[in-house]
Chains A and B, each alone.
Chain A
Amino acid sequence: MSLLRYHLRKLFMIFKNEVLVLPSRIVVCIFFILLLIWPLIFEDPYAMRIVILASIFAIFAASWDLLSGFTGQINFGHALFFGVGAYGAAILNRQTGMPPWGSIPLGALIAVLAGLIVGIPCLRLRGTYLALTTLAFPIILASLIMTAPEYTGGEMGMSGLARLAMSRTANYYIVVVTMLVLVTVMWKITDSRMGIIFHAIREDELAVKAAGINTTMYKLIAFSLSGFFAGISGGLYAHFMRIAGPSTLEVSMSFQVVIWCVFGGMVTIWGPVGAVFILFPLLEFLRMWPEWRELMFALIVLIILLYMPGGLLPWVRNKIETECPRCKIRNVAFRSSCRVCAAEMK
């Protein structure tokens, strides 16, 4: 009993000293809790649907950030992984009757394969050339799908897939918990030793090679990790919408993810996730003025990027938090001395 009390007390102290001191951490906590209790407060199925779709696209956006933001392999054809994940799950589900909990991970593994297929020829390219080459891959796959309508459903796509779960609330929890777990995993990956190497490859690949690190392997790891997470989001999308169509491979899909990431702040993982949860509901909200919707959306994105070139969320974070000049620990903006090293904050 006293042991339990000790651990509870320790947990509380960690919460108090590590989480409550920084507004960004509090916001993340609120975000997690709010997402988890959302269906208990709001019964509205439409709002729930928006949150589900936003969660799916949040995984997708974060996976782009992992590949293009961190490793610097700018990918303008990220819809490929999403589409392969969606079609992979759909074909497995329709042809073999596999339930969603099997078809989604297997579809994601097919997306990993797609990541390797894209990654190996792209190893020699960098920068603009890489971006333009990757742009072609989803278009190639889309036309391949059109040529085999008996397996893929052609233009109509594959409909009538199994539901994720029977009730909408169960759907919601499956998608949201998956999203929270996967995004945390991605964030931990970028925070690990591998993350340092990813960062360094983006900065200067030759210098990483000269430090004795097999950059080819790490770039392929980045491609396949990104493909895996994007494939999971594609599979979730297919099973949630109960259809996998060619729209998942569209060019607009590839560019949407770039907009989300740039808007939310690249090289952060949490930036794109936050951006999806801001922009996706915003786009739905703008449905009130249907003919102006796209224009207003574009204007908002443009204005934000004009005044906050690093992305919206890092800008906000830098406003409410400052970095200690000595120990580089982040502090609330209104503190006059650093909470760790007590250095004076300027």
Chain B
Amino acid sequence: MALPFLEVSNLKKGFGGLMATNNVSFNVARDEIIGLIGPNGAGKTTLLRLITGILKPDSGNIKFRGKDITRMKVWDIVNLGIAGTFQNMRPFRRLPIIANVMVSCLSPRALKTGEWVKRIEAKALDALEFAGISDMALEKASTLSQGDLKRLEVARAIATDPELLLLDEPFGGLSPAETDLMAKSIKRLHKGGRFGRLHSEGPAMIIIEHKLQALMKIVDRVIVLNYGEVVAQCSPEEVVKHPAVIECYLGKGEI
């Protein structure tokens, strides 16, 4: 019996009186793409931040390949192979875009997995190329638009060679055409392989997204959160018919 890849059990986190996540439990398999949806304030971003270790849960635990990562430092979790993006983009504004990605390339994990790449600049450039902003590599990050900042976040996350990638609204601020392109890139990344000098493990993914149409095309399974609790876990075909999901988005009432 193989260990579960990522196992989240009974995760609780409260901010004051508000329970942001309440008894959340789910598993992720090595080869899955999971969509995490729910109304605003449902605790999606909190859940992602708990997994990346930026927030610490009040109770419950998270196991990655059988290893308890609940209380580990953020950088240790990243070096185990979990990388996440920020919903509110946090680039290093006064640094060139390529330097933003080079910071990720300097993490011990990225240095180890790509040791045949001597020049981290080249690797960073390939990550940028994957995200589609390599032509602006030398500009300052403060010149980027919102959509491009999203792509920069993705480039920064994949530069650490993650096995589990947590994307917080990767399509936010992108036009429909760009969304399609990004969705295709994510699909391609999930298959794994090499993108220039960038090596992809074919990471499992958890994607938070509000553009459901684009999301449903790429995910294998959807988890619906509402008020910090898992409302439904089902396939993308079923989720639109699921009564609990309809209730949390539209409310319940007599017609």
Contact = CB atoms under 8 A, between A and B. Distances in A.
Given A204-B90, A206-B90, A328-B96, A211 B138 contact: no
A197 interface: yes
B75 A209 contact: yes
Nearest to A329: B138
B106 interface: yes
6 tightest A-B contacts by CB?
A212-B107, A212-B78, A203-B92, A209-B74, A211-B104, A207-B90
Nearest to B137: A328
Interface string B76-112: 0011000110100011111110011011101111100
B57 to A, nearest CB: 17
A193 B99 CA distance: 10
Contacts of B109: 212
B123 interface: no
7 contacts: A203-B94, A206-B54, A209-B73, A212-B79, A212-B104, A212-B107, A328-B138
Nearest to A328: B138
Which one of A197, A199, A210 has the highest number of Cβ atoms from chain B below 10 Å of its Cβ? A210
A143 interface: no
Contacts of B61: none
A312 B94 CA distance: 20
Chain A's interface size range is 10 to 19
Which one of B86, B91, B104, B120 has the highest number of Cβ atoms from chain A below 10 Å of its Cβ? B104
Contacts of A211: 78, 103-104, 106-107, 156, 159-160
A212 B92 contact: no
Contacts of B99: 196, 199-200
Contacts of B103: 196-197, 200, 208, 211, 213
A260 B73 CA distance: 38
Contacts of B106: 193, 196-197, 211, 213
Contact of A214 (B75, B83, B104): B75
Interface residues of B, number: 32
Contacts of B78: 209-212
A159 interface: no
A278 to B, nearest CB: 25
Interface string A34-58: 0000000000000000000000000
Interface of B: 52, 54, 73-75, 78-79, 83-84, 86, 90-96, 99-100, 102-104, 106-110, 120, 138, 156, 159-160
Interface in A179-218: 193, 196-197, 199-200, 203-204, 206-215
Given A193-B120, A207-B86, A212 B156 contact: no
Given A211-B107, A213-B103, A327-B138, A199 B74 contact: no
Contacts of A215: 75
B74 A210 contact: yes
B108 A210 contact: no
Given A210-B84, A212-B107, A212-B109, 18 more contacts: A193-B120, A196-B95, A196-B103, A196-B106, A197-B106, A199-B92, A203-B91, A204-B92, A207-B90, A207-B92, A207-B156, A209-B75, A211-B106, A211-B156, A212-B75, A212-B79, A212-B83, A327-B138
Contact of B108 (A196, A208, A209, A212): A212
B208 to A, nearest CB: 16
Contacts of A199: 92, 94-95, 99
A210 B138 CA distance: 22
